[in-house]
Structure 1
Amino acid sequence: MSTTPGDRTAPPPPPPERGAREARTSTLPRTTAGSVPPGPGAGGTGATGARPAGAAGAGGAGREVDPGLAGPRRVRLSISRIDPWSAMKLSFLLSVAVGIMIVVAAALVWFVLDSMHVFTDIEELLTDIGSADFLQLMDYLAFDRVMSLATVVAVVDILLMTALGTIGAFLYNIVAALVGGLHLTLTDD
């Protein structure tokens, strides 16, 4: 069977390469799965935000959408579970930072009060009153005792905050299983 030049059909074009397809679609604004960006030219969307039939039809493929016309993207997320191990690590590190701040703040307050001669004024007042029982109180306000007390408070703080953060993650997971978690709406304004 002979063919004439007019009878030949052109072979179908090869499918576009993956990189070319991604490059063509990367100019469109990113939205949540199955939704169309709001704004002019979006073509009406249903209640679920699904793309209407034929939206990618004639004239719509490969056309760039101006991000300024599309408006801010909105994504609705739900925090349904908190990993207790990560909550424990985070609460431990934060409580260590708070413990360091407690020790440093106690040292700064002691130095400020000492430079203002508050401790000597209190000791003179107790001597003038004649109460020898309260003079022993000044022995407890020495710098090394104040620092050791602040360190004990910081260690207790580290233990309690770490335990409470971990227990809080477990409680959140239980409550989130019942009510669905915390819902957030994020935009890219």
Structure 2
Amino acid sequence: MAKADPWSVMKVSFLLSVALGLCTVVAVAVLWMVMDAMGVFSTIGGTVSEATSAEGSGGFDLESFLSLPRVLLFTSVIAVINMVLATALATLGAFIYNLSAGFVGGVELTLAEDE
């Protein structure tokens, strides 16, 4: 392989990054729902509220802090940052590969035919 077109590498890496971002958001949503159904947030929230409460206040409310919309918003922001970085790094990798392939001739592939 003597050259990788950076434009096509950018398009493919962007599409793969979008798919990975969607999978991440769906996986976090499913995991949050399972943990909420098991009562994890209420149990840990009660412990945190009890540990942080003072005589005049009720303590930190972990359940409202880790609500589904807030968690999905944070996950979406991380997924968008990941999409931008993965696309940029893949495109930069294509440019670097093209520069190094110009010096050494690229990667040689040997294909064999099954009989």
TM-score, normalisation: structure 2 = 0.89
Q: Which residue of 1 aligns with 2:102?
A: 177
Query: Is 1:111 matched up with 2:33?
Result: yes
Q: Where do 5+ consecutive residues of structure 1 fail to align?
A: 1-78
Q: Which residue of 2 aligns with 1:187?
A: 112
Q: Which residue of 1 aligns with 2:78?
A: 153
Q: Where do 5+ consecutive residues of structure 2 fail to align?
A: none
Q: Which residue of 2 aligns with 1:3?
A: none
Equivalent residue for 1:163, pick from 88, 95, 113: 88
Report the alpha carbon displacement of residue 110 of structure 1 after superposing the two structures with TM: 0.3
Runs of 4+ in 1 over 4 A off after TM superposition: none
Q: Decide whether the 8 Å contact of 2:42 with 2:63 is kept in 1.
A: no
**Identity percentage over the alignment?**
45
**d(CA) in 2 for partners of 1:140, 1:186:** 56
Give the SS at the match of 1:82. Answer: coil
Q: How does 1:37-56 map to 2 (within 5 A)?
A: none
Give the SS at the match of 1:90. Answer: helix
User: Aligned pair count?
Assistant: 110
**d(CA) in 2 for partners of 1:136, 1:179:** 60
**d(CA) in 2 for partners of 1:99, 1:113:** 21
Higher normalized strand content (fraction of residues): 1
Higher normalized helix content (fraction of residues): 2
Q: How does 1:27-66 map to 2 (within 5 A)?
A: none
Give the SS at the match of 2:3. Answer: coil
Moved more, 120-129 or 151-160: 120-129
